[in-house]
Chains A and B, each alone.
Chain A
Amino acid sequence: MTELLLRVRDLRTYFVTEQGRGTARAVDGVSFDLHAGETLGIVGESGCGKTVTSLSLLRLIPEPPGHILPGSFIELEGRNLLTLAPKALRAIRGNEMAMIFQEPMTSLNPVFTVGDQIAEAAIVHQGLSRRAARARAIEMLKLVGLPDPETRVDHYPHQLSGGMRQRVMIAMALVCGPKVLIADEPTTALDVTIQAQILELLNRLQDELGMAVILITHDLGIVAGTVDRVLVMYAGQVVESAPTPELFARPLHPYTEGLLASVPRLDTPHPRRRLHSIPGQVPAATAWPAGCRFHPRCPYAWDRCTVEEPPLLDAGKGEPASHVVRCWLLAEPARRTRQP
């Protein structure tokens, strides 16, 4: 494997809710590694802790009410981000580790030109002069494929379409050449054709710049096309982690199984059947179920699942720990009887 860039161990981000109605355990013990040049996908329903995980990586969780628990560990090339002073942390944000936000419509400042906003990170981190930063901004706009960058650089966000704005957001995130790029649902606000363009662009830029990407999405179609390794999250935990082809060929966690079954397909034998859905919804983060957190919605659940919380078990295929699953079915495979 190539050089290890980011090591996350037992990340726990909790939020104290108002009036002391308990603690929301939004992210509850997430661990993963990210290597140079790799693309990691994090998937799951809304409320699973995907976004909180990505915000925690940059320590952008609003504190209070949120806090990252002391036992957590986020290490970027040997530096623990959780113990870094604010100034050193700011030197990393946008420079070594950058983030693309969900909403291109609202993530740009309406009163500045897009050129100014792209140039800002270059000025903050690399001490570029205004003129040089502007030239850099034009270069970045060219890189992300915005037509006519010399004029666009002086445009305000409201003069651009959604897809253009998302390209600007990507340009902002990439202007300092980060080693790790976190893309939090970069295409949810865009229509499908633009979505494909943006994903293609991200792939191309990743090849050109050699950075590692964490792609957060709830769209398994995106994952299949672009991601090397998938992390399936449920209720603040990783429930399954596997290389992409392996996960699609052999989903082991019932949740992953359900997610894959819910994807509309053109090649199913019964095209007129109702689309599959996982019954119920993600429980509130203040009260995760005891035992396996998925058991109230799991078609296989038996009494063990309601009391004992499963650890991440190795599925035993390929390299050790390359496919891990948080499910008791791995210990008692005979119980996998009914197909969901």
Chain B
Amino acid sequence: MNLRATLALLGALALALFVVGEARRHAAATPARRRFFRHRPAAWGLFVLSFFVTLAIAAPWVAPYGPSVTLEIVTLKNQPPSLLHPLGTDLYSRDVWSRLVYGSRVSLSIGALAMLVAVTVGAVVGAVAGYVRRWVDTALMRLVDVGLAVPRIFLMLMAIALWQRLPLALFVLLIGLTGWFGTSRLVRAEVLTLRERDFVAAARGLGAGPARIILRHVLPNVAAPIIVSAALGIGNVMLLEAGLSFLGIGVPPPLPSWGNMIADGAAQLATAPWTTLFPGLAIALVVMALNAVGDALRDALDPRREAEWDTDGATL
């Protein structure tokens, strides 16, 4: 590992620490932010996430080599971790650290983009079903039932069978379009109570149409549960991506994702465990961080939790 990469890595760590520090410094400002940090793992989660996001953005500086550069296929393959290659090298003599860094780009963006698709579709479907009711609600919710009943993995396998090799954009879209069912249920339930609220009636009385009411008066009031489900959902999507890439139907090599790095290394688990260990660790860390942040967000965005936490705080 050269000097530039080391400095960049230290920079990334420092930046992540700075983000957490800043967030903590502002935490006293509102009750919501106080509740967020009262969740102990939340600060760690935030740190891990900001670290990996920084890595992903600054990949060309942090990674000493390109993602698929084979250094010396004979002498440098399956090298254990050393100063030069902090996470070792893989079967094709590629630097595992570099691949891990570039892989964070792929894995994180697949997680975020697929979740964006899922949350958007889920929120719109849920809001329409809940607001319009009648047959629209029935039709959409039966569709959701079907979607929840069919295992996602089979849909993926079917897509692979149809198209052989899936372009990355289509892969992301497919994950997103099979992942909105839960969100739509959640949003619908919230909308059902919201639509009976006085301010929705008031908006109708002022001449607002259904689209305006859904977009301006209903959805912003469901933001909190949507954000929470998105934060928890990204972790799920990343696990799914890893699983599918491991099966060889996700991200096509040589493009590194944490999932296909594990797949590449699986054959020599006994001789070169570092090729699978580190990407696996990265997945575990990020998913745990997302869950911690998601849980903390749920507490932070739900004012009803306040009392509960206060009593907890007293006994601690």
Contacts and interface: CB of A to CB of B under 8 A. Distances in A.
- Chain B binds chain A: yes
Interface in A97-133: 98-99, 101-103, 106-112, 120-121, 124-125
A251 interface: no
A111 B220 contact: yes
Q: Which of B202, B205, B217 has the most CB of A within 10 A?
A: B205
Q: Which of B207, B209, B217 has the most CB of A within 10 A?
A: B207
Contacts of A103: 198
Contacts of A94: 205-208
A157 to B, nearest CB: 9
Contacts of A112: 216, 220
Contacts of B209: 87, 90
Nearest to A169: B202
A91 B207 contact: yes
A121 B201 contact: no
A121 B207 contact: yes
A314 to B, nearest CB: 35
B198 A125 contact: no
A128 B202 CA distance: 20
Nearest to B205: A99
Contact of B207 (A108, A109, A110, A125): A125
A172 interface: yes
Interface string A75-99: 0000000000001001111110011
A160 interface: no
Given A107-B198, A111-B221, A120 B205 contact: no
Interface string B193-231: 000011101111111110010001100110100000000
Contacts of B220: 109, 111-112
A172 B204 contact: no
Interface residues of B, number: 18
A120 B220 CA distance: 15
Nearest to B197: A106
Interface string B95-120: 00000000000000000000000000
B208 A106 contact: no
A284 interface: no
A108 B206 contact: no
Nearest to B204: A60
Contact of A124 (B197, B198, B212, B221): B212
A90 B202 CA distance: 13
Given A101-B198, A120-B216, A124-B212, A109 B205 contact: no
A109 B203 contact: yes
A58 interface: yes
A180 to B, nearest CB: 12
Contacts of B217: 109
A120 B199 contact: no
Given A109-B217, A111-B221, A124-B212, A172 B207 contact: no
A98 B203 CA distance: 11
B207 A92 contact: yes
Contacts of B199: 106-110
A99 B204 CA distance: 10
B198 A172 contact: no
A93 B209 CA distance: 10
Contacts of B207: 90-95, 121, 124-125
B30 to A, nearest CB: 13
Given A109-B221, A111-B221, A112-B220, A172 B206 contact: yes
A120 B202 CA distance: 12
Given A111-B220, A111-B221, A120-B216, A106 B206 contact: no
B12 to A, nearest CB: 36
Interface string B12-50: 000000000000000000000000000000000000000
Interface string A236-250: 000000000000000
A216 B157 CA distance: 64
Given A106-B198, A111-B221, A90 B205 contact: no
B202 A172 contact: yes
A92 B204 CA distance: 11
Contacts of A107: 198-199, 201-202
Interface string A56-83: 0010100000000000000000000000
Contacts of A173: 206
Contacts of B198: 101-103, 106-107
Nearest to A111: B220
A140 to B, nearest CB: 13
B127 to A, nearest CB: 15
A56 to B, nearest CB: 12
Nearest to B134: A64
A110 B220 CA distance: 10
A219 B199 CA distance: 24
Interface in A215-255: none
A130 B17 CA distance: 40
A125 B203 CA distance: 13
A290 B198 CA distance: 35
A169 B209 CA distance: 19
B205 A60 contact: yes
A109 B203 CA distance: 9
A169 B202 CA distance: 9
Given A94-B206, A109-B217, 13 more contacts: A60-B204, A87-B209, A93-B205, A94-B205, A94-B207, A102-B198, A103-B198, A106-B197, A106-B199, A107-B198, A108-B199, A111-B221, A172-B206
Query: What are the nearest 6 A-B pairs in CB distance?
Result: A94-B206, A94-B207, A93-B207, A107-B198, A106-B198, A109-B199
12 contacts: A87-B209, A90-B209, A93-B205, A98-B205, A106-B197, A107-B201, A108-B199, A110-B199, A120-B206, A120-B208, A121-B206, A124-B212
Interface of A: 58, 60, 87, 90-95, 98-99, 101-103, 106-112, 120-121, 124-125, 169, 172-173
